[in-house]
Amino acid sequence: MTLDNVNLQAESERPVNEFPFFEERLKPIDYKAIIEAKHPFSDPHWLAEESSIMDDFMMREPRVQKWQTLVWKRPSEVYGEGNFTLYDKIDPNDILQGDCGDCYFLSGLASLAEYPDRIKRIFLTQEINEAGCYAVQFYICGEKRTVVVDDRFPYCPHKERWAFSRTSSSNEIWVLIVEKAWAKVFGSYQRIEAGTTGEALNPLTGCPTKFFIHDDVKSKEHLWQTILFADTHKFPMCTAVASS
């Protein structure tokens, strides 16, 4: 297949070296021992505090005031003990975006969720556990890395729901876990706002990504054939619209 009639650009993953203390946050955690011990886990390298949600100096004041009202809760506090699952029926339409502007990341997750096993491969822990300790696998700077998080998530007391992304159809927490792990890599939920889908798909899958700029496409038929080829081979695909 030739792509000479399409403006094809390679996307690199979202850079992490610009964010301080990256390696400090990803220090190894023996999640298997923690799960086996069954004691509630609290991540010692990324605390459930305001700085893990936002950076005051990077946000506008009205939004700072709104996010300062968020609290941290565990699923057992929201759904009740034993009334939630890691995942039940994974579906692209099951992902709801919250108040964090990470739609590019959720789009990547949704494209993978078309084939549920692709989501399950991200998880190194496949079941709910009493410790509330979960491990996922990302590819950071081309290297396979384990990211461990606890199950405390930002919660909006005014809306009485999770502040950020969640599932729509049931009490599943897989979306919350993957989003929190992504935020941990960069240091806060605020720092994962705004991006392109390739910046998420590469770390989620370890595979290279490509994107096409529609305005520069000389042959719509050629673009359609490219999309058809990708769909036939079950490549994850996303679309985006730039806002002015």
Per-residue model confidence as pLDDT tens digits over 185-229: 988 998 888 877 777 777 888 766 667 666 555 677 777 777 777
- CA–CA distance, 198 with 202 (Å, rounded to integer): 6
Confidence of residue 160 (pLDDT cuts 50, 70, 90): confident
From 141, 203, 152, 144, select the one nearest 177 (Cα to Cα): 152
Residues facing 154 on adjacent strands: 72
The pLDDT tens digits of the residues spanning 44-84 come to 999 999 989 987 666 666 777 788 889 999 999 999 888 89
pTM here? Answer: 0.83
Asked if 107 contacts 95 with a C-beta cutoff of 8 angstroms, the reply is no
